[in-house]
Amino acid sequence: MTDRYAVFGNPIAHSKSPEIHARFAAQTGQDLHYERILAPLDGFALSVQEFIQAGGKGANVTVPFKLEAYDLATELTARAQVAGAVNTLVFDDDLIRGDNTDGIGLVTDIVTNAGQPIANRRVLLVGAGGAARGVILPILEHSPAELVVSNRTAARAQELAAQFGGRIQARSFDEIQGEFDLIINATSASLAGDIPPLAPALFGKQTLAYDMMYGKEPTAFMRFAAQQGAAVRDGLGMLVEQAAEAFFIWRGVRPATASVYQALRQQLQAQ
């Protein structure tokens, strides 16, 4: 019998997850079907329960339901607990296991695909929302020399710093000093064509500026960073890598990602 998986979101029609997982399944010989499910804004939990009753084995969760998925899970992985949000669910009898693969997706794309080490590097994480929270632990596991979090609302960055017991530093935008080896934009500013208020001096010739957003053209953040001489990368690789981690959690097989990334990149360029 073909195993069923899905991605829940609202909106969801734009999701590339069904194509990604179809490519993974074909590559690895796994018998599964993956679909999009548009859950009502006030009916996420019910939609998931209906999917489970219909034989669903697991699911991805995207905006705006990652916090609800966290609450729905009956068991949480350590990285989901730290993130305070869930993007991957595993259904096993009465158990709903919640995980978060965003951070490992980001780190894999930076370290493995982009060839940029995090160990002993200065890292600046811009934003203190769910996207930022989900990647802090995987970044720290790579032992950066320094991890600074900055946010328009300074109190939220300070809350994160307190949560991690001094392993990260919270700074207002005007307090950040010196060049960083890696600057990650975890805000949604790029969706509106905006740029976080970062000083040009934070970027250097050796800096990798990484935007979690992606599109056909470089984001405003990427264009600004490139003007300062930094190398730039968008979040398409993170999308593929977090999906690969979810696939591994569900199927116990780790798919190769390079060909899937290239196919999606070519599709974006053709739009």
Per the residue annotation, which of 57, 66, 205, 216 is the catalytic one? Answer: 66
Domain segments of the chain as ranges: 3-99, 104-236
The pair of structure tokens assigned to 229 is 């001489």
111-159 pLDDT tens trace: 999 999 999 999 999 999 888 988 999 999 999 999 999 998 889 899 9
- Work out the average pLDDT over 57-74: 95
Please tell me the predicted confidence (pLDDT) of residue 262.
Answer: 97
Please tell me the predicted confidence (pLDDT) of residue 163.
Answer: 87
The pair of structure tokens assigned to 209 is 């500026």
Please tell me the predicted confidence (pLDDT) of residue 89.
Answer: 98
Sign of CA dihedral 192, 198, 200, 206: negative
pTM for the model stands at 0.95
Q: Is it true that 3-99 and 104-236 share their CATH fold? A: yes
Please tell me the predicted confidence (pLDDT) of residue 199.
Answer: 97
Residue 156 is assigned to a ligand binding site = yes
Q: What is the DSSP string of 69-135?
A: HHHH-SEE-HHHHHHT--SEEEEETTEEEEE--HHHHHHHIIIIIS----TT-EEEEE--SHHHHHH
Residue 152 is assigned to a ligand binding site = yes
- State the Cα–Cα distance between residues 249 and 246, nearest whole angstrom: 5
Residue 229 is assigned to a ligand binding site = no
CA 2 to chain centre: 28
Q: Mark whether 57 is an active-site residue.
A: no
Residue 155 is assigned to a ligand binding site = yes
Residue 16 is assigned to a ligand binding site = yes
- Work out the average pLDDT over 74-97: 95
State whether residue 136 is helix, strand or coil: helix
CATH annotation of 3-99: 3.40.50.10860
- Work out the average pLDDT over 9-38: 97
The answer on pLDDT for 109 being more than 90 is yes
- Do residues 119 and 143 make contact, with C-beta atoms less than 8 angstroms apart? yes
- State the Cα–Cα distance between residues 168 and 158, nearest whole angstrom: 9
157-212 pLDDT tens trace: 999 889 888 899 999 999 999 999 999 999 988 888 899 999 999 999 999 999 99
Pick the CATH number of 104-236 from 3.40.50.920, 3.40.50.150, 3.40.50.720, 3.20.20.140: 3.40.50.720
Residue 97 is assigned to a ligand binding site = no
Residue 131 is assigned to a ligand binding site = yes
211-253 pLDDT tens trace: 999 999 999 999 999 999 999 999 999 999 999 999 999 999 9
Residue 119 is assigned to a ligand binding site = no
Residue 185 is assigned to a ligand binding site = no
